[in-house]
């Protein structure tokens, strides 16, 4: 492909989930890659890590002595992510940028307090322009369930320097790629059929075209792809990541795959087959993937599967 983006290779990628749908304090399954969080001080358990229907992560890349850190999404409530960051002792001073995967409330809930807590302003904040689409809702029969809108003014007041990008953008010293708008090529990843928005009094289906992901390139092992909800389709997302970087090898596919509920469960098998075709070393379904889909991934790819939790740190090394 001409015009491929030169995503720098890194020696290590760390992904700390500050919000996810699940937590188990006594799983006792930490490993070289997986570090589970149990808040312990003075040899006593002090509280818990909070789980909620949302996703947020701090992503760190390491290249020799050079490190970069950024925020990826901010969970649903304005409570869980700040609470978990405090319990885990997360140092926000190294965060140099933030990314929003798409403009739904379960990904920007704690954006304002977390951006405000990052020392040094403004904070470069990467987002597709359509994240600010207004009057979004789910249609359930004749009922409209409204989505809270993305509040540009409030985010800027908190310290976000909003950088709108519909195309791919390099950030964090060219070690992280924000994919921007993802090409949709598969015949089965068709988005949310009951998602709508209204503009000038006209109702339209919402393709959630801003849905995006970030990508890292682990030296000698390939791409680490992290999605928010994969409304664009996780197979489409990985396909596009390979296209724009020119890197075929895939090391990790992680994120919400949006396969929960009766509308999406019929495409679980096709999605698994699509990801298996990339031959990733690890698959880490999170957030909106859904219980049935998570179980299906574990059964189909037992040697590649990692169960994520709120508070879990994953460390992938070259």
Q: What is the CATH number of the domain that holds 100?
A: 3.60.15.10
Domain extent for 209: 9-317
- The reported pLDDT for the residue numbered 300 is 98
| pLDDT(2) > 80 | no
Half-sphere exposure of 35 (CA within 13 A, CB side): 12
Q: pLDDT tens, 8-24?
A: 999 999 999 999 999 99
- Give the mean model confidence (pLDDT) for residues 80-100: 95
| pLDDT(211) > 90 | yes
Distance between CA 305 and CA 283 in Å, rounded? Answer: 5
Q: pTM here?
A: 0.95
Whether residue 132 lies inside any domain: the answer is yes
Whole-number percent of the chain with pLDDT over 90: 92
| pLDDT(267) > 60 | yes
- Give the mean model confidence (pLDDT) for residues 177-187: 97
Instruction: Assign 25 a pLDDT band (cuts: 50, 70, 90).
Output: confident
Whether residue 263 lies inside any domain: the answer is yes
Whether residue 1 lies inside any domain: the answer is no
- The reported pLDDT for the residue numbered 43 is 65
Whether residue 4 lies inside any domain: the answer is no
Distance between CA 295 and CA 284 in Å, rounded? Answer: 12
- The reported pLDDT for the residue numbered 1 is 40
Distance between CA 100 and CA 264 in Å, rounded? Answer: 23
Q: In terms of Cα–Cα distance, which of 138, 148, 11, 132 is closest to 78?
A: 148
- The reported pLDDT for the residue numbered 40 is 67
Whether residue 257 lies inside any domain: the answer is yes
Whether residue 278 lies inside any domain: the answer is yes
Instruction: Assign 216 a pLDDT band (cuts: 50, 70, 90).
Output: very high
Least confident of 26-40, 62-76, 156-170: 26-40
Least confident of 6-15, 35-44, 148-157, 179-188: 35-44
Q: For residue 64, is it left (φ>0), alpha (ψ between -120 and 50) or beta?
A: left
Whether residue 297 lies inside any domain: the answer is yes
**Could you give the number of structural domains in the chain?**
1
Whether residue 224 lies inside any domain: the answer is yes
């Amino acid at each position: 492909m001409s015009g491929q983006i030169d995503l720098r290779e890194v020696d290590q990628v760390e992904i700390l989930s500050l919000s996810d749908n699940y937590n188990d304090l006594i799983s006792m399954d930490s490993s070289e890659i997986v570090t589970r969080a149990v808040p312990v001080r003075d040899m006593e358990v002090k509280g818990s890590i909070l789980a909620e229907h949302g996703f947020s992560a701090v992503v760190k890349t390491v290249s020799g002595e050079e490190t970069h850190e950024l925020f990826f999404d901010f969970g649903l409530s304005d409570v869980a992510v700040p609470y978990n960051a405090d319990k885990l002792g997360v140092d926000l001073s190294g965060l140099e940028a933030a990314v929003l995967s798409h403009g739904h409330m379960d990904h920007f809930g704690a954006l304002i307090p977390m951006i405000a807590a990052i020392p040094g302003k403004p904070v470069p904040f990467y987002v597709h322009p359509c994240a600010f689409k207004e009057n979004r809702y789910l249609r359930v029969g004749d009922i409209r369930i409204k989505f809270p809108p993305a509040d540009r003014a409030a985010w800027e007041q908190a310290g976000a320097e909003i950088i709108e990008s519909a195309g791919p953008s390099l950030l964090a010293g060219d070690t992280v790629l924000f994919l921007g708008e993802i090409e949709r090529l598969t015949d089965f990843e068709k988005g949310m059929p009951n998602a709508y928005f209204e503009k000038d009094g006209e109702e339209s289906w919402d393709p959630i075209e801003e849905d995006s992901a970030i990508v890292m390139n682990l030296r000698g092992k390939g791409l680490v792809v992290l999605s928010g909800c994969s409304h664009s389709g996780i197979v489409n997302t990985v396909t596009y990541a390979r296209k724009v970087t020119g890197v075929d090898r895939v090391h990790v596919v992680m994120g919400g795959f949006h396969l929960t509920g009766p509308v999406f469960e019929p495409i679980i098998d096709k999605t698994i087959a699509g990801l298996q075709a990339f031959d990733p070393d690890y698959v880490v379904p999170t957030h909106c993937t859904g219980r049935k889909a998570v179980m299906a991934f574990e059964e189909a790819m037992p040697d590649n599967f990692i169960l994520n939790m709120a508070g879990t740190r994953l460390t992938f090394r070259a």
